[in-house]
């Protein structure tokens, strides 16, 4: 399969991702004050030198960030993501309530809503600090241009924020699929599908209107010896995720709730929960990012013990003291 979607509307066709644009946000309580952005270490060359694609992103948003004021805040729900919108007193009031958490959330909002090549800047007057956030996916063109977000934009940005939540605070690459708020396919390549070969989850909801945010499973269940930092919507043999990630609510199988996008075959057109239909996003991950007990590395998702299961992995984490 070749590349899909109209990449030119974002100012570029499907292209090799610049590592300089991939930034990792500090999670709440990481001891970094109000620093909003930190460069990550250089990526392994094999990942980025061989892959051209549009929708690769990194996830590191804390669960606290996702629930921060529910995103029903008057500081963003009525303002555009332009210089004018971010200069409004309502936005400053929201941001000043918790600059560390607001900076983290804004980094992902801009990454999701604003196209690559654009940035948004805000000066925190009290701290005499300027934040600059780069865009990437461009999922909310109208909101990014300065208009109030439409319902479709609220939904797709909510889905994008949920997709980037990582309860372990570990950044791993994800491949994001679906359509933007205007119905345009997020571009992808056959190489991307090959490298990110594991279908993972669907995410949907509307945090702006307090309609909740949901995740569904699309992946095969994890085996007892497998684990992943992408734990909010990845089920195991119990049929449920191994970790609760409130405010994300696990809603079941994506196939049971969502209508497949037959144009691409890798995403869903909509998902319905409690009679409300939402615009979703779908994620894929690499098999290499799935931890397996016995691979010789004690991962953040594994624990010591006397078994071969992920939560008692003697081979990787040793016997508990």
Q: Tell me, yes or no, whether 2 lies in a domain.
A: no
Task: Tell me, yes or no, whether 183 and 73 share the same domain.
Answer: yes
Q: Tell me, yes or no, whether 254 lies in a domain.
A: yes
pLDDT of 300 reads: 92
pLDDT of 53 reads: 33
Specify the pTM.
0.79
Distance (Å) of CA 274 to CA 245, 246, 254, 271, 315: 20, 18, 14, 10, 44
Task: Tell me, yes or no, whether 283 and 298 share the same domain.
Answer: no
Task: Tell me, yes or no, whether 148 and 193 share the same domain.
Answer: yes
Helix, strand, coil content of the chain in percent (nearest 5): 25, 25, 45
> Among 63, 73, 203, 79, which residue's Cα sits nearest to residue 140?
79
Task: Tell me, yes or no, whether 117 and 207 share the same domain.
Answer: yes
Which residue range is the domain that position 309 belongs to? 293-321
Looking at residue 240, what DSSP letter applies? S
pLDDT of 58 reads: 53
Q: Tell me, yes or no, whether 261 lies in a domain.
A: yes
pLDDT of 61 reads: 58
pLDDT of 319 reads: 96
Count of domains observed in the chain: 2
User: Which residues are registered as beta bridge partners of 302?
Assistant: none
Task: Tell me, yes or no, whether 191 and 77 share the same domain.
Answer: yes
pLDDT of 206 reads: 92
Q: Tell me, yes or no, whether 1 lies in a domain.
A: no
Q: Specify whether the CB–CB gap between 3 and 178 falls below 8 A.
A: no
Task: Tell me, yes or no, whether 279 and 320 share the same domain.
Answer: no
> Among 256, 248, 249, which residue's Cα sits nearest to residue 272?
256
Q: How many residues does the chain have?
A: 321
Tokens of 135: 């865009």
Task: Tell me, yes or no, whether 130 and 230 share the same domain.
Answer: yes
pLDDT of 57 reads: 52
pLDDT of 54 reads: 38
174 Cβ contact list (under 8 Å, min separation 6): 56, 57, 58, 59, 163, 164, 196, 200, 230, 283, 284, 285
Per-residue pLDDT of the chain (321 residues; tens, 9 = 90+): 433 443 333 332 222 222 222 222 222 222 222 233 232 333 333 343 333 333 445 554 544 455 454 444 445 666 678 767 788 888 888 888 888 888 888 888 998 999 989 999 998 888 889 999 999 899 999 999 989 899 999 999 999 999 988 788 777 888 999 999 999 999 888 888 998 999 999 999 998 888 999 999 997 899 999 999 888 888 998 889 988 888 899 999 999 999 999 999 999 999 999 999 999 999 998 898 899 999 999 999 999 999 999 999 999 999 999
């Amino acid at each position: 399969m070749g590349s899909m979607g109209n990449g030119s509307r974002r100012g570029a066709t499907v292209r090799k991702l610049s590592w300089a644009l991939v930034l990792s946000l500090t999670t709440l309580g990481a001891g970094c004050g109000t620093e909003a952005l930190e460069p990550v270490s250089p990526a392994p060359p094999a990942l980025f030198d061989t892959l051209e694609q549009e929708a690769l992103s990194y996830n590191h948003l804390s669960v606290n960030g996702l629930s921060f004021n529910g995103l029903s805040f008057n500081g963003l729900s009525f303002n555009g993501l332009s210089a004018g919108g971010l200069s409004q007193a309502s936005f400053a009031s929201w941001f000043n309530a918790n600059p560390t958490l607001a900076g983290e959330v804004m980094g992902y909002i801009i990454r999701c809503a604003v196209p690559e090549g654009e940035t948004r800047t805000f000066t925190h007057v009290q701290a005499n600090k300027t934040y600059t956030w780069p865009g990437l996916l461009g999922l909310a063109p109208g909101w990014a241009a300065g208009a109030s977000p439409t319902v479709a934009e609220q939904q797709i940005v909510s889905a994008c924020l949920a997709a980037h939540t990582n309860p372990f605070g570990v950044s791993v690459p994800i491949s994001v699929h679906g359509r933007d708020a205007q119905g345009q396919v997020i571009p992808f390549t056959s190489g991307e599908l090959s490298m990110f070969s594991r279908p993972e989850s669907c995410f949907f909801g509307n945090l702006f209107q307090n309609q909740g945010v949901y995740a569904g499973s699309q992946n095969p269940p994890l085996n007892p010896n497998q684990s992943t930092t992408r734990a909010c919507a990845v089920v195991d043999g119990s049929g449920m995720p191994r970790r609760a990630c409130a405010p994300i609510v696990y809603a079941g199988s994506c196939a049971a709730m969502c209508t497949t996008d037959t144009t691409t075959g890798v995403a869903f057109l909509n998902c319905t929960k409690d009679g409300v239909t939402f615009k979703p996003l779908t994620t894929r991950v690499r098999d290499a990012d799935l931890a397996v007990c016995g691979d010789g590395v004690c991962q953040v998702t594994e624990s010591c013990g006397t078994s071969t299961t992920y939560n008692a992995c003697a081979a990787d984490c040793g016997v508990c003291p």
